[in-house]
Chain A
Amino acid sequence: MRIDDLPGELILWILIASEVLVFAAGLSAMVAMGLRDPQGFAAAQGHLDGRLAALNTVILVTSGLFAARAERDAAAGHRRRARIGLGLAGLGGLMFLALKAVEYARDIRAGLGMDGHPFYTFYYLLTGFHAAHVIAGVAVLALVAIRARPAPVQAGAMFWHMVDLVWVLILPVIYLIW
């Protein structure tokens, strides 16, 4: 196992590890807080719509496929195909954000505010912080699509997969296990 074996830039792996650690710390704090009031956390989670979260998982992993294909196309010198893949991946990100906005609007209409219960404080903070990463990821995908060179496209795709990776860890802890 050598550092040189890692695909892509080392700094991106440091970023990925850092982001996973930040979200893991937040999720751990949430679960630890839930130990004090498991019934309250279960009741609060019961008001969330897990179907929208599942649909968003499908959207994110599909956009991850487009980003991975764009990376492969850019490496092969197919810039136009890489741009199309990056565009589709970015579109997936926008669809994710639109669905998240629908979910937040539904939650707020139902009176599930951030200060209503500690569960919702973590819910809004963690999913909101993740949504901020999705916005940043869409911007990164758009930027690297301009020239569609192999190394920047690979970096953009790696950032996008990190967003995907964090989401699959958030999903069970926030939406499902209580």
Chain B
Amino acid sequence: MDALTRTWLLLLGLTLATALLAGIDGRLAALALLALAWLKARAILGGFLHLRAAPGWLGAAMLPLGIWLAAIGALCLVALG
């Protein structure tokens, strides 16, 4: 199996996990859904956009994305009370 197919299967698995979690209410589920989005973004940037082969760049892309998703998660926690 080549790396592109592995990336695709990983994305399908993460999408399935997202669909399963979508039916659950609550703060933890919301945070887990945002974490899954981060993992999907990482798979796309690293596997399809080849940042995994560019030293340092995948981390440089994922750090601000992670900080932004964490901020969204924090706002959600406030909203969900």
Q: List chain A residues, Cβ under 8 A from B18.
A: 54, 57, 171-172, 176
Q: List chain B residues, Cβ under 8 A from A172.
A: 18, 30, 33-34, 36-37
Give chain B nearest CB distance to A74 CB in angstroms: 14
Give chain B nearest CB distance to A29 CB in angstroms: 11
Which residue, of A31, A65, A172, has the highest number of chain B Cβ atoms within 10 A?
A: A172
Give chain A nearest CB distance to B48 CB in angstroms: 5
- How far apart are the CA atoms of A6 and B56 in the complex, in Å? 10
Q: List chain B residues, Cβ under 8 A from A62.
A: 8
- How far apart are the CA atoms of A62 and B44 in the complex, in Å? 11
Is the pair B22, A54 in contact by a Cβ cutoff of 8 Å? yes
Interface presence of A141 (CB below 8 A) = no
**Of A6, A35, A68, A177, which is within 8 A of B48 by CB?**
A68
Q: List chain A residues, Cβ under 8 A from B19.
A: 50-51, 54
Categorize the interface residue count of chain A.
35 or more
Among residues of B, the one whose C-beta sits closest to the C-beta of A164 is B44
Q: A54-B19, A62-B8, A64-B44 are in contact. Are A5 and B55 (CB under 8 A)?
A: yes
Residues A130-162 near B (CB distance < 8 A): 157-158, 161
Is the pair A171, B37 in contact by a Cβ cutoff of 8 Å? yes
**Of A34, A58, A169, A177, which is within 8 A of B41 by CB?**
A169
The count of chain B contact residues (Cβ–Cβ below 8 Å) is: 42
Is the pair A161, B44 in contact by a Cβ cutoff of 8 Å? yes
- How far apart are the CA atoms of A51 and B15 in the complex, in Å? 11
Binary contact track A34-66/B, C-beta < 8 Å → 1, others 0: 110010010000000011001001100110110
**Of B7, B54, B65, B78, which is within 8 A of A6 by CB?**
B54
Interface presence of A14 (CB below 8 A) = no
Among residues of A, the one whose C-beta sits closest to the C-beta of B78 is A35
Interface presence of B63 (CB below 8 A) = no
Q: List chain A residues, Cβ under 8 A from B49.
A: 7-8, 16, 158, 161, 165
**Of B33, B65, B72, which is within 8 A of A28 by CB?**
B72
16 residue pairs bridging A and B, Cβ less than 8 Å apart:
A5-B54, A5-B57, A6-B54, A20-B65, A27-B72, A28-B68, A34-B79, A35-B78, A54-B19, A61-B44, A64-B11, A68-B4, A68-B7, A164-B44, A169-B69, A172-B30
Give chain A nearest CB distance to B38 CB in angstroms: 9
